[in-house]
């Protein structure tokens, strides 16, 4: 009987010890890794392509698919969407201004998000990204599929493998010169200042 009690106490001590290790070490480490992964999803250079592949679609008219795609792309800013099926275009209206987010960061993200959207949505032809400052200033970026395809030199759907995406999209976005050249040649930018 005494041996049995000692065994039970020993097992309880081991159980509490394992519980403490799981609660005090393993769960916090997993949570930290998860938070690091989510933070990496906000950077075009470290974004995980597999997060957006489920949103591949032949048609841009599926509003929930378009919204879900952009929710899984970098730039975690409140936004609304407007689809224009007659011109095969999508308008993304961000509720923050470029000055608050940072122009260099915005440019990388716009290129990345445009390549992703055009790669995944077959009949999407044009994107409009609008950023509204609380002061009322508005910055608009417009880009077409053909402009992005001319920069990347291929059918964008061919980029949708992990290796090609890394080499042809993410690695190129590390270059400030590439980002600048892409913004100058592919995007049309328009700024509107609020009248005083």
Residues 6+ apart with CB under 8 A from 64: none
Query: Percentage of residues in the chain with pLDDT exceeding 70?
Result: 89
36 lies in the same domain as 53 = no
Q: pLDDT at residue 35 above 70?
A: no
- 150 and 120 in a single domain? The answer is yes
Region 41-59: what's the mean pLDDT?
93
Helices assigned H by DSSP within the chain:
2-21, 27-40, 63-71, 98-101, 103-120, 145-152, 162-165, 176-186
- Whether residues 20 and 79 share a domain: the answer is no
- 89 and 8 in a single domain? The answer is no
- 162 lies in the same domain as 108: yes
- What's the rounded mean pLDDT across residues 20-27? 69
Q: What tens digit of pLDDT does each residue of 147-186 get? A: 999 999 889 999 999 999 999 999 999 999 999 999 999 9
pLDDT for residue 42: 81
- The pLDDT value given to residue 12: 76
Higher-pLDDT residue of 134 and 97 is 97
Cα-flanking dihedrals φ and ψ of residue 189, to 5°?
Answer: -115, 135
Task: Quote the domain boundaries for residue 106.
Answer: 49-192
**Average pLDDT of the chain?**
89
Q: In this structure, are 149 and 181 located in the same domain? A: yes
Mean pLDDT along residues 110-124: 97
Same domain, 69 and 131: yes
pLDDT greater than 90 at residue 87 = yes
Same domain, 104 and 59: yes
The pLDDT of residue 37 is above 70:
no
Residues 61, 27 share a domain: no
> At 133, is the secondary structure helix, strand, or coil?
coil
Question: 55 and 36, same structural domain?
Answer: no
Domain count, the chain: 2
Q: What is the mean pLDDT of residues 88-100?
A: 93
Query: pLDDT at residue 40 above 70?
Result: no
134 pLDDT higher than 70: yes
């Amino acid at each position: 009987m005494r041996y049995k009690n000692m065994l039970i106490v020993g097992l309880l001590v081991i159980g509490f010890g394992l519980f403490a290790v799981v609660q005090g070490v393993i769960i916090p480490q997993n949570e930290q890794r998860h938070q690091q992964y989510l933070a990496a999803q906000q950077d075009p250079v470290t974004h995980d392509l597999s997060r957006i592949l489920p949103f591949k679609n032949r048609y841009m008219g599926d509003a929930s698919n378009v919204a879900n795609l952009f929710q899984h792309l970098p730039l975690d800013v409140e936004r609304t969407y407007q689809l224009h099926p007659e011109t095969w275009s999508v308008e993304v209206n961000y509720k923050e201004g470029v000055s608050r987010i940072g122009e260099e960061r915005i440019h990388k993200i716009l290129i990345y998000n445009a390549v992703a959207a055009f790669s995944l949505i077959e009949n999407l032809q044009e994107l409009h990204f609008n950023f509204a400052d609380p002061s009322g200033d508005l910055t608009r970026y417009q880009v077409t599929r053909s402009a992005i395809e001319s920069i990347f030199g291929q059918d964008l759907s061919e980029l949708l493998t992990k290796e090609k995406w890394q080499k042809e999209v993410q690695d190129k976005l590390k270059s400030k010169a590439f980002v600048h050249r892409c913004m100058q040649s592919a995007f049309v930018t328009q700024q509107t200042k609020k009248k005083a």
